[in-house]
Amino acid sequence: MDIHELEAFIALADTLHFARASAQVHLSPSALSRLLARVEEELGAPLLERDTRQVSLTDEGKAFLAFARETVHRMDDLKLRLGEKDDRLRGIIRIYASVTACYSILPPFVEALAREHPDLRLSVETGDPAGAAETIREGRAELALDAIPPNGYRDLECHSVRKTPLVFVSAREGAFGHLPLVEEPLEQRSPAMNPARESEPKALVEALQGVPLILPRTGLSRERFDRWARANAVKPMLSAETAGNEAVLALARLGLGVGLVPRLVLENSPFADGLVLYQAGPDFGDYDIGFVQKPATSGTDSARRMRTAIAEIIRYTYR
């Protein structure tokens, strides 16, 4: 088994589509199928389940995928480090972040990293913040931008860098653009909560009863909404569940209902024009955005040095 076979399997596991994966690794679909058969025979276990409708990973395939990712990453990292005898940090830092975080939170860190450690390379994967912690645990990334839970994570190191309130949004000219709730002007960037102007909890419950809602499928925003709904005996009427905050805004702008998002996402969104903001109130709390990584005390010596350097850059960049 060689690196090329591992890279081909990763492409196949990521796309779950033989034609697309074969194009990525410059093989024909039939050649990719034969490669997979050789790997499965060598391992003595099936890695994919295939039927007429879909391709999916087996449990053995998921375990092998984690091994393949780590091996390919270590090889890439080793190529950058070989032959260098000084103490400068070299290698690849894999970062996981939402699209919004890539242009609203990440740039100062990237600039500081390039200035302090010019021999480090970045590899960025974008996705739903709800999956950020798992990308670190699975070894898919060394650093991730996440919505940090109130008590952090027991197994991960957290660095809070920005707090923003959760707000409800809807198309201003749509059916839900004039709910009896306190509005927030978007021009006032991330205003502090004003207790005198907060939406009354009872008013929020009454206003959202029977209103179609657009919510993230998982993550901190969804957890807080579900907790609020249970506490107030609200039976939500969902018009859509999404895999990220940007999708919530897009559907709200189409007038499909009222969405719940961190205000920061709205401030940086092309969909902001034409939306009305309603205060969610203190029951929903702030959305605490920050970096997560494995503890700086764990891993190899080079991994510990890297994590310590990253933590230092985050501290002085966002202080």
On the question of pLDDT at 194 being above 50, the answer is no
Q: 165-286 maps to which CATH number?
A: 3.40.190.10
Q: What percent of the chain lies above the pLDDT cut of 90?
A: 35
Task: Outline which parts of the chain fall under CATH 1.10.10.10.
Answer: 1-83
Tokens at residue 164, please?
A: 């923003």
On the question of pLDDT at 73 being above 90, the answer is no
User: Which one is predicted more confidently, 81 or 289?
Assistant: 289
pLDDT of the residue at 79? 60
- What's the average model confidence in pLDDT over 3-10? 85
pLDDT of the residue at 316? 93
Average pLDDT of the chain is: 85
- What's the average model confidence in pLDDT over 215-228? 93
Pick the CATH number of 1-83 from 1.10.287.130, 1.10.3720.10, 1.10.10.10, 2.40.50.140: 1.10.10.10
pLDDT of the residue at 301? 73
Task: Outline which parts of the chain fall under CATH 3.40.190.10.
Answer: 165-286
> Would the CA dihedral through 164, 231, 216, 181 be positive or negative?
negative
pLDDT in tens, 50-69: 876 788 899 998 889 888 88
pLDDT in tens, 104-139: 899 999 999 999 988 888 888 888 888 899 889 877
For the ranges 13-22, 152-161, 169-178, the lowest mean pLDDT is seen at: 13-22
Q: How confident is the model at residue 81 (pLDDT cuts 50, 70, 90)?
A: low
User: Which one is predicted more confidently, 92 or 291?
Assistant: 291
pLDDT in tens, 174-183: 999 999 888 8
For the ranges 23-32, 190-199, 211-220, 272-281, the lowest mean pLDDT is seen at: 190-199
Q: How confident is the model at residue 78 (pLDDT cuts 50, 70, 90)?
A: low
pTM (whole model) above 0.85: no
pLDDT of the residue at 192? 44
